[in-house]
Structure 1
Amino acid sequence: MHRNHKLYHFLVERTWSLTENWYESLDKENSLGVYASNDPLVIDKVKQQNHEFHIRFCKVFDNNESSEQFSIHFDEWINSISKDEEHLNTPIDVILHEFFVTQNQYLDLIEEFVRTSSETYSQETINRWNRVVIKNFNYVMTVFTREYHAHSQLRLKAQQELIIELSSPIISLSSSLALLPIVGEIDTDRARFILENTLNQCVDKGIRHLLLDLSGVVIIDTMVAHQIFQLIESLSLIGVKATLSGIRPEIAQTAIQIGIDFSKTSIVSSLEQAIATSKTY
């Protein structure tokens, strides 16, 4: 049995010194993210988070704490830290390094406890305590890495969606006329977003005529070209006239090769022409 009342209290009494010693040992000049911050609020928060870690971790030696309770309480801490914005802005390898530093703090404290204790503990008992520390740090780091990755992916997806949205704006030119300038590389996901976002915004804004300018698009593949012209057909179904401008020769060739019919599409060579021919709207 690894639980020991005296060891537990020995560790609990040193939780704040563990935090302060850990923070003082940080190489802030060469560190990154949350550990390099000079913001007093960030520094205070990361210390509180570290101290909360110790309060929960010490319970692994508490006679009144079951293994199930320990996991539940620690999972709460892990979930909170893994989605913390400051930690998400810190490379995962830097965070894991600090976990290993903290693990060594516990191994050193166990050594100190044995050395200063009035009781004598067998090497088997000491080894058991050390294995418990390492085992539970492995658990914490494994779960933290998994949760950190999950939250990072969610944040990345949200950022990508925002970038796509900002890169495909519907610009109102009048109460019923709008411009959609498409710039940069278009992949399948972005083309799908443009289709959905454009239809929704045209309905919301009461647009009757949309100028779709492709002069900022260098190249698109056949699937994307099909989706762009599918957008034009979808616009007509909701009563919106579309005028295409700025089609490069490569894009025109791709459209012809996949059999897109231009006969019902209003096409002009430039955005200036498109605006000039839309004066009646």
Structure 2
Amino acid sequence: MEFTFHDSDQLKDFFENNKLVFEGILLSEAVYVKDKIDEILHIGNIDLVNNAKKLVVYIIDEKDEDLKHFAKLEGIAWAQHSIEISFKLEWVQAIRRTIWTFIEEYNDLKKNSLGIEEFFHLEREINNRVDEFLNTFFINYTIYKDSLIKEQKELVENLSVPIIPIDSAICILPLIGDLDLHRVEIINEKVLDQISHLRIQHLIMDLSGVATMKGETIAELKKVIDGISMMGCETVITGLRKEIVREMTNVGIQFNRQTKTLGTLQQALNEYFVH
């Protein structure tokens, strides 16, 4: 590829006047990513080639704050669209190699005008900025992914404790699936918050969907029920299976006197809404 060069060109002028050459060298360096350019553009509206040119401008012009802001936006965008970060790493390293190919060519055309000190200063400045871009990119990529995981975890936790208001004073908590110590801890946190927030007076806790519980889990659930009573809310337990009742009697666990037990959820609904 033939470079455009004028004796008066500064390094940034040289890059600006040879954008097409830069693009060609970059694509030849990015062996695996170049076949993914259109796919990444389609998935996340991320234009790798133009973004590479923008990054080079920030590096050459020493626009450090713009570079970090750009890296942050890139990190979030790649995380939002779950694009493989291995592609980003290869792409940025290809950009780094292309920049140094340009600097070498520029220095040759300038008849080796760069002295040793100037060269090492340039090397430090450019590589530090490329590294800064990568660090900022990966930090923001990770932060976004972590926040997404946290949101998904909170969603799952809320779904695992589905408190359903029936009227202003009564709610139903239908529990389904395995109950372990972690889930009981979530129930404790969510239920007490909702009792305080909604001013629930009666909580119907339906356990018909829970097949078994270990003794230690039952003991922790009893603590939750005791806490509910302390907040002035009556707990009505429905649907206790024989396996859970047998485990309770084996380990000597009993609910407090304020806790009512009924055979089915329908019985509880009939009692509270019919009579």
Fold match by TM threshold 0.5? yes
Give CA-to-partner distance per residue, 1:189-248, whole Å, 9 cap, x none.
543332232223234334322111223335555554344222211222222211122334
> Distance between the aligned counterparts of 1:164 and 1:125, measured in 2?
59
Instruction: Tell me which moved more, 158-167 or 132-141.
Output: 132-141
TM-score (norm 2): 0.72
> Distance between the aligned counterparts of 2:50 and 2:185, measured in 1?
45
1:36 counterpart (37, 40, 60): 40
Query: Which segments of 5 or more consecutive residues in structure 2 lack a partner in the other structure?
Result: 1-8
2:12 counterpart (8, 15, 28): 8
- Aligned residue for 1:38, secondary structure, equals helix
1:96 counterpart (89, 98, 102): 89
Query: Which segments of 5 or more consecutive residues in structure 1 lack a partner in the other structure?
Result: 61-68
> Distance between the aligned counterparts of 2:53 and 2:195, measured in 1?
53
Call closer, same or farther: CA 1:118–1:93 in 2, change over 3 Å.
Answer: closer
Q: Is the 8 Å Cα contact of residues 177 and 210 (structure 1) preserved in structure 2?
A: yes
Q: CA offset at residue 75 of structure 1?
A: 2.9
> Distance between the aligned counterparts of 2:53 and 2:249, measured in 1?
66
1:183 counterpart (176, 180, 195): 176
Percent identity among equivalent residues? 20
Task: Give the aligned partner of residue 151 of structure 1.
Answer: 144
Give CA-to-partner distance per residue, 1:19-45, whole Å, 9 cap, x none.
79868979789749x953426x8246x
> Distance between the aligned counterparts of 1:118 and 1:144, measured in 2?
34
> Distance between the aligned counterparts of 2:79 and 2:238, measured in 1?
45
Call closer, same or farther: CA 1:173–1:77 in 2, change over 3 Å.
Answer: same
Task: Give the aligned partner of residue 142 of structure 1.
Answer: 135
TM-score (norm 1): 0.71
Q: Which structure would you say has the larger Rg?
A: 2
Task: Give the aligned partner of residue 59 of structure 2.
Answer: 57
Q: How do 1:197-208 residues align onto structure 2 when only pairs under 5 Å count?
A: 197-208=190-201
Call closer, same or farther: CA 1:35–1:135 in 2, change over 3 Å.
Answer: farther
Which amino acid in the other structure matches residue 229 of structure 2?
Answer: S
Instruction: Tell me which moved more, 203-212 or 186-195.
Output: 186-195
Aligned length: 264
Task: Give the aligned partner of residue 65 of structure 1.
Answer: none
- Aligned residue for 1:242, secondary structure, equals strand
Q: Is the 8 Å Cα contact of residues 195 and 227 (structure 1) preserved in structure 2?
A: no
Task: Give the aligned partner of residue 273 of structure 1.
Answer: 267
- Aligned residue for 2:235, secondary structure, equals strand
Which amino acid in the other structure matches residue 45 of structure 2?
Answer: V
Superposition CA RMSD, Å = 4.0
* Residue 187 of structure 2 corresponds to residue 194 of structure 1: yes
2:159 counterpart (144, 160, 166): 166
Q: Is the 8 Å Cα contact of residues 239 and 265 (structure 2) preserved in structure 1?
A: yes
Call closer, same or farther: CA 1:87–1:175 in 2, change over 3 Å.
Answer: closer
Give CA-to-partner distance per residue, 1:134-157, whole Å, 9 cap, x none.
444334323432332233212211
> Distance between the aligned counterparts of 2:143 and 2:20, measured in 1?
31
Call closer, same or farther: CA 1:50–1:30 in 2, change over 3 Å.
Answer: closer
> Distance between the aligned counterparts of 1:145 and 1:10, measured in 2?
30
Call closer, same or farther: CA 1:53–1:276 in 2, change over 3 Å.
Answer: same
> Distance between the aligned counterparts of 1:255 and 1:30, measured in 2?
63
Task: Give the aligned partner of residue 218 of structure 2.
Answer: 225
